[in-house]
Amino acid sequence: MKHLCTTALVASFAMAAPFAPTAADAEEINVVMFGMPYTNGLRKLADDFEAETGIKANIDVIGQDVFENRITLSFTGGTGDIDVVHAPVIQVQRWVAANWLKPITAEVAAMAVKDDILKGPLDAYKINGEQYAVPFMAATGLMTYRQDVLEAAGVGVPETWAEMLEIAPQVTNDDRAAIALRAVPGQGFNMFIFPMIMRAYGGKFFADYTGGDLTPAINSPETLEALKVYIELINDYAPQGAGNFNFAEVNAAAQNGQVVFTVEGTGVVTQIVDPEKSKFADVTGIALPPGGPAGRSPAIAVHGLAIPSSAENPEASARFIEWAVSPETMTKIALAEPFSNFTTGSVAQNAEVIAKYDAVHPDFLRMQGEALNLAIGHYRPLLPDWPSLGAAIGENINAAVNGLMSPEDALAAAEQEMKDILGQ
Amino acid sequence: MTILQAPDRRDHPAGRSLARKRSMTQATSKRRGATYELERGYRRMIIPAILAVAIFAIVPLAGMLALSFSDYHLIRGSKGEFGFHNFARLLSDQRLVNSIYVMSVLSIFGVAAQVVIGTAVAVGLQKIVGKWRLGRVLFLVPYAVPHVAVALIWLSLFTPTLSPINAFFDLFGFTVPTFLTTQNGAMFAIIVADTWTNFPFAMLIILAALQGISTDLDEAAAIDGASRVKTFIFITLPLLMPALLMVTLFRFIDSLKHFPMIFVITKGGPGRSTQATNFYAYVQTFQNSNVAYGAAIAVLLFLMAALISFYVARLNQRVSQ
């Protein structure tokens, strides 16, 4: 039956990409990634890899929106047209459950660079004792704030979300809102931001995730309080239309001086404090995201490189991964692109890299390190069903933010949908 | 000695007639043979098209149909169930009901706007003469822009902090309403973007139809004292009806495929309020890994499109007759 379904799936979907390029021979590999500073930088260095190894790497960097569809078609069809794939940590559990990835424990153990890779992000790709990917980046969440506005208002940097709510009205005027946060529904959009508030108030996704009790527990007084804070910030203190903001709109609002605060991923934060891109970079400060009664919980998003089960030349794929996360390649990308989230530790010791990011913002590397230390690996649960769970929760949260349902109803609906998805 | 020779039958009138008949039969038979060969040649020529349709339409469709009866899940695989359970689930799925409502609103209002604007522009362009006729090309530009790019343009225009429209009205102290945070506003935004990119299709068809209407009719109506508006309503519009009907139905079928606009502009939000049916099929298939149920939704969508197509074909036949 499974074969019949797989055949039908391939027949119905793989037709959409019947002429996808396949590695012509052992000396050619296809790499599929989605756009971000590291992947853009890596694509520019493809010739270096060929010069070093004699293997031609066709690096395809596509939009994140279409990436999922592209790789799902390839993996379900077992077409073997992808030799190395971009592997966000929140997707890897799902891909491993579907047998889409090749375990690379032995390959990683043989890599000279393995001891230079940060242990936390590397371990995030370990499932049932097997390594499935090698991280290249660990992004975290940071807050940016306008120092000049806070000074003029005579207020300090908020340490908690409650303080943020107190300060917000004091820094808002007709031309400027207090804060911009991602709100558009999606497990990588509002569900990258909202859990920072939820966890600060003591909310959680499951009864006891680390203990193995996966009973949904999002409909709790703590999460409700957090959701009300999130709604108040977006509806009362964010720019008009913020209920549909994604990171691009948040970034633009900060760069144009339309908001005082943002809480964003480090990839966006580097652009907000970059003098070449932001009009207000020189008066923008960086701090840890606000906390709450349960402490501070910065977001974390780890990205890595993996080898699909259907890859035809795994040896060449492993060589590519080793080259891609090597200190030399990482350093080149860190210097050429706004890429500070490297997971190859020795890059942080490079004087040129330190000088570059100090020039962008003197607190940046330090704050990023502090946030990574505070972040918990399962900030978003590492489960095969997380993409569905995150989407369902995100849609209900967004509905509450935009007044389509009450916060209470949104959390009740989210919890029920979590149970449905998990078959409980 | 006289050698008796058998008379040549062709010399006899009856024989001549028979020979002629035979010769005609042979010619007819040859012609028939040639026609048969020609038809066979034509049939061979459509083999690639048949193969293409079979490979790229029928096989995937059969695959989708097979999946819709299964319980295949991308992560959990299949337990071997095969039946109508996905279709039974469709009957009680509130999200599906909402998606059909969203799809209907987007299609009905979007197509209506495209046909009305397309007709108005076509009527205006028809009056343009001389070198200015080249200006018609300008109206085709939106049709040539990829849908994702169109969606990004309109996302910016509907985002208050990025929109030049908001900035302009801000100068005079007016606040433009927020569109993307309410269901009606978000659907309006999608309809506007869809109309902008698709009205040129309606315009082209209507313009071609207008050019096929004799100007004598307008002149005769003018001589009889009819105003331009009355001439348009009582003469031009009825003559345009077949074209209007066709363009409406073709656009309606195409409008069932709302995807890039929703994906880029609203991501189905706020909440789930702009998840049209094909977007919902995508959510079930790719986001929830529920391939079998996604296929069942796609089958339902296919049946709806097939019904409309069947109606279009029947209508086309009636109009042609």
Q: Is B222 part of any domain?
A: yes
Mean pLDDT of A92-118: 93
Q: Is B49 part of any domain?
A: no
pLDDT score, position A163: 98
**pLDDT tier at B14 (50, 70, 90 boundaries)?**
low
Residue A91, classed as helix, strand or coil, is helix
Contacting residues of B for A189, CB less than 8 Å apart: 267
Mean pLDDT score of chain B: 87
What's the rounded Cα separation, in Å, for the pair B310 and B314?
6
pLDDT score, position B37: 81
Contact A49, A345 (CB under 8 A): no
Mean pLDDT of B279-284: 93
Of A9, A384, A421, Cβ closest to residue B63 = A9
CA–CA min distance A381, chain B (Å): 16
CA–CA min distance B220, chain A (Å): 55
What's the rounded Cα separation, in Å, for the pair B55 and B57?
6
Binary contact (A244, B181; C-beta < 8 A): yes
Binary contact (B181, A402; C-beta < 8 A): yes
Contacting residues of B for A403, CB less than 8 Å apart: 182
CATH 3.50.50.60 correct for A2-10+23-138+300-374: no
Binary contact (A399, B66; C-beta < 8 A): no
Least confident of A367-371, B130-134, B293-297: B130-134
Binary contact (B161, A97; C-beta < 8 A): no
- More confident site: A376 or B88: B88
| Architecture (CATH level 2) of domain A139-298+382-422 | 3-Layer(aba) Sandwich (3.40)
What's the rounded Cα separation, in Å, for the pair B116 and B108?
12
pLDDT score, position A314: 93
pLDDT, tens digit (0-9, with 9 covering 90-100), for B211-252: 888 888 888 888 888 888 899 899 999 899 889 988 998 899
A356 has pLDDT over 60: yes
Q: Is B268 part of any domain?
A: yes
pLDDT score, position A423: 86
The CATH 3.40.190.10 portion of chain A extends over 2-10+23-138+300-374, 139-298+382-422
Contacting residues of A for B278, CB less than 8 Å apart: none
Q: Which residue, A377, A378, A389, A394, is CA-closest to A424?
A: A389
What's the rounded Cα separation, in Å, for the pair B236 and B222?
13
Contact A191, A184 (CB under 8 A): no
- Alpha carbon B208 to chain centroid distance? 17
Binary contact (A240, B75; C-beta < 8 A): no
How many CB pairs (< 8 A) connect A and B?
Answer: 149
What's the rounded Cα separation, in Å, for the pair A320 and B180?
43
A342 has pLDDT over 60: yes
**pLDDT tier at B275 (50, 70, 90 boundaries)?**
very high
pLDDT score, position B53: 85
Q: Which residue, A188, A300, A184, is CA-closest to A249?
A: A184
Of A68, A72, A244, Cβ closest to residue B269 = A244
pLDDT score, position A338: 84
Measured between CA atoms, the residue of chain B closest to residue A92 is B75
Of A12, A94, A242, Cβ closest to residue B60 = A12
pLDDT score, position A14: 44
Phi, psi of A286 (to 5 degrees): -125, 140
Least confident of A196-200, A327-331, B305-309: B305-309
Q: Is B198 part of any domain?
A: yes
| Torsional class of A129: left (φ above 0), alpha (ψ -120 to 50), beta (otherwise) | left
Q: Is B36 part of any domain?
A: no
Burial of A345 (0-12, 13-18, 19+ CB in 10 A): middle
Residue type, A368: Q
Q: Is B151 part of any domain?
A: yes
Mean pLDDT of A306-319: 94
A157 has pLDDT over 60: yes
Residue type, A90: I
The top-scoring range by mean pLDDT among A74-78, A316-320, B226-230 is: A316-320
Mean pLDDT of B7-13: 55
Measured between CA atoms, the residue of chain A closest to residue B263 is A65
Residues constituting chain A: 424
CA–CA distance from A305 to each of A87, A91, A308, A321, B232 (Å)?
5, 12, 10, 7, 65
Phi, psi of B209 (to 5 degrees): -65, -40
What's the rounded Cα separation, in Å, for the pair B45 and B47?
6
pLDDT, tens digit (0-9, with 9 covering 90-100), for B97-152: 999 999 999 999 999 999 999 999 999 988 777 777 777 888 999 999 999 899 99
Substitution target from A1, A5, A174 for chain B, most B beta carbons within 10 A: A5
User: What is the domain count for chain B?
Assistant: 1
Residue type, B260: P
Q: What is the DSSP letter of A342?
A: B
Contact A376, A124 (CB under 8 A): no
Contacting residues of A for B179, CB less than 8 Å apart: 241
Cα radius of gyration (chain A):
22
Q: Is the dihedral of CA A190, A195, A201, A204 positive or negative?
A: positive
Question: What tokens were used for A423?
Answer: 């078959």
Contact B81, B89 (CB under 8 A): no
**pLDDT tier at B170 (50, 70, 90 boundaries)?**
confident
What's the rounded Cα separation, in Å, for the pair A142 and A408?
28
Binary contact (B287, A388; C-beta < 8 A): yes
Phi, psi of A265 (to 5 degrees): -70, 155
Mean pLDDT of A282-301: 95
Measured between CA atoms, the residue of chain A closest to residue B167 is A175
Q: Which residue, A74, A16, A188, is CA-closest to B298?
A: A16
What's the rounded Cα separation, in Å, for the pair B94 and A333?
48
pLDDT score, position A195: 97
Mean pLDDT of A297-319: 94
Q: What is the DSSP letter of B72?
A: -
What's the rounded Cα separation, in Å, for the pair B189 and B170?
20
Residue type, B220: A
Contacting residues of B for A77, CB less than 8 Å apart: none
Contacting residues of B for A2, CB less than 8 Å apart: 72, 77-78, 80
pLDDT score, position A40: 94
Mean pLDDT of A113-142: 92
Contacting residues of A for B64, CB less than 8 Å apart: 8, 12
**pLDDT tier at B1 (50, 70, 90 boundaries)?**
very low
Contacting residues of B for A384, CB less than 8 Å apart: 75
A69 has pLDDT over 90: no
A21 has pLDDT over 90: no
Q: Is B119 part of any domain?
A: yes
Q: Is the peptide bond before A239 cis (omega within 30 degrees of 0)?
A: no
Binary contact (B60, A396; C-beta < 8 A): no
- More confident site: B173 or A103: A103
pLDDT score, position B122: 93
Substitution target from B181, B183, B279, B293 for chain A, most A beta carbons within 10 A: B181
Mean pLDDT of A373-381: 88
What's the rounded Cα separation, in Å, for the pair B164 and B158?
9
Binary contact (B72, A387; C-beta < 8 A): no
> Which are the contacts of A378, defined by CB distance < 8 A and separation ≥ 6?
A209, A210
What's the rounded Cα separation, in Å, for the pair A80 and B172?
59
Question: What tokens were used for A158?
Answer: 């908020």
- More confident site: A1 or B301: B301
Other C-beta atoms closer than 10 Å to the C-beta of B13 total 8
Question: What tokens were used for B7?
Answer: 């008379």
CA–CA min distance B85, chain A (Å): 15
Measured between CA atoms, the residue of chain A closest to residue B52 is A15
Hey, which residues does A344 pair with through a beta bridge?
A117
Question: What tokens were used for B36?
Answer: 């048969």
**pLDDT tier at A6 (50, 70, 90 boundaries)?**
low
Burial B161-195 (b: 16+ CB within 10 A, else e): bbbeebeeeeeeeeebebbbbbbebbbbbbbbbbb
Residues constituting chain B: 321
Other C-beta atoms closer than 10 Å to the C-beta of A97 total 18
Binary contact (B59, A15; C-beta < 8 A): yes
Measured between CA atoms, the residue of chain A closest to residue B53 is A15
Least confident of A356-365, A384-393, B206-215, B266-275: A356-365
Of B64, B270, B288, Cβ closest to residue A12 = B64
Q: Which residue, B195, B196, B163, B186, is CA-closest to B265?
A: B186
Q: Is the ipTM of this complex over 0.90?
A: no
Contacting residues of B for A249, CB less than 8 Å apart: 159, 161-162
> Which are the contacts of A172, defined by CB distance < 8 A and separation ≥ 6?
A178, A237, A260
Binary contact (A189, B77; C-beta < 8 A): no
What's the rounded Cα separation, in Å, for the pair B215 and B223?
12
> Which are the contacts of A118, defined by CB distance < 8 A and separation ≥ 6?
A135, A138, A343, A344, A345
Contacting residues of A for B162, CB less than 8 Å apart: 249, 252
pLDDT, tens digit (0-9, with 9 covering 90-100), for A267-276: 899 889 988 8
What's the rounded Cα separation, in Å, for the pair A183 and A189?
7
**pLDDT tier at A399 (50, 70, 90 boundaries)?**
very high
Measured between CA atoms, the residue of chain B closest to residue A186 is B267
**pLDDT tier at A188 (50, 70, 90 boundaries)?**
confident
Residue A56, classed as helix, strand or coil, is strand
Share of chain B above pLDDT 70, in %: 93
Binary contact (A185, B271; C-beta < 8 A): yes
A20 has pLDDT over 80: no
CA–CA min distance A243, chain B (Å): 6
Residue A61, classed as helix, strand or coil, is strand
How big, in percent rounded to 5, are the helix, strand and coil portions of chain B?
75, 0, 25
What's the rounded Cα separation, in Å, for the pair A144 and A156?
13
Q: Is B230 part of any domain?
A: yes
pLDDT score, position A34: 93
Contacting residues of B for A396, CB less than 8 Å apart: 271
Least confident of A177-181, A310-314, B132-136, B258-262: B132-136
The domain that contains B118 carries what CATH number?
A: 1.10.3720.10
A13 has pLDDT over 50: no
